[in-house]
Amino acid sequence: MADEAASPVRARHDPSRVVVPLDPAQIRVEARVKALTSHTLSIPVMHGTWSAPRGRLDRSLIELTFELGGATSEPQFVADIAKSPHFLDTAMFPEGRLEAQWLRPKTDAGSKSYDLFFDLELKNRRRHLLAPAALSRVGCEARLTTAFSIDRREFGISRRGRYDGIVGDRIEVSVEVSVPTAPFGVPCAAQPGDLAQRNPATAILKLPG
């Protein structure tokens, strides 16, 4: 049975949660598509937030709003096709959204491994998804990473035309977000150099809580 204190409803409405605006420079969102060969699209984030109860990074949640119209690729024409009316149609649907609902610790793994339950919205279609996630501290920052796959047709990212038949249905998405730990009352993680000075033995760093 799920821990009631960390349930989806209580997690999102916990009045003790600290909400921190994210720096877009500290967010990386990429989508890998296959069109004869694999191509990677970099998708900028317009704004986002990271929230967690004070001292409890293990109950972190993120919300991101993507600027789909700003997607880039190498070569750029791949992103231009993706943004066209054939697929994302960013003139009509310029934004996408990821909203985390619950970060559940995995019982069969270490303290840094989680199941991330979240809603993904593209082209005004919202789907509830589950993906593995990793949460760690790097210096004075917390970092959340996740990767998942979606079927583009479930989000209406398709249109009959010359490109539809050569583009694979699966899109591999990866997300990496970093935020300072100080607003959450969490100290900086010890650095390897600091540990070497205190104790030459290897130390294992764990998230508080």
Residue 202 banded pLDDT, cuts 50, 70, 90: very low
Range of the domain at 72: 15-198
Residue 3 located in a structural domain: no
Lowest mean per-residue pLDDT among 29-38, 42-51, 65-74, 106-115: 106-115
The answer on pLDDT for 10 being more than 90 is: no
pTM: predicted TM-score of the whole model, two decimal places: 0.81
Q: How many CB atoms lie within 10 A of CB 123?
A: 18
Report the CATH number that the domain containing residue 173 is assigned in CATH: 2.40.128.110
Confirm whether 71 is domain-assigned: yes
Confirm whether 105 is domain-assigned.
yes
Asked if the structure places residue 35 within a domain, the reply is yes
How many domains in the chain?
A: 1
Residue 95 belongs to some domain of the structure: yes
Q: Is the peptide bond before 44 cis (omega within 30 degrees of 0)?
A: no
Query: Tokens for 161?
Result: 């035309």
* DSSP code string of the chain: ---GGGSHHHHHH-TTEEEEEPPGGGEEEEEEEEESEEEEEE--EEEEEEEEETT-GGG-EEEEEEEGGG-B-SSHHHHHHHHSTTTT-TTT--EEEEEEEEEEE-TTS-TTEEEEEEEEEETTEEEEEEEEEEEEEETTEEEEEEEEEEEGGGGT---SSTTGGGB-SEEEEEEEEEEESGGGT-PPPPPHHHHHHH-SS--------
The pLDDT > 70 percentage for the chain reads: 79
Q: Is residue 77 part of a domain?
A: yes
Look at residue 173 and tell me if it is in a domain: yes
Q: Is residue 107 part of a domain?
A: yes
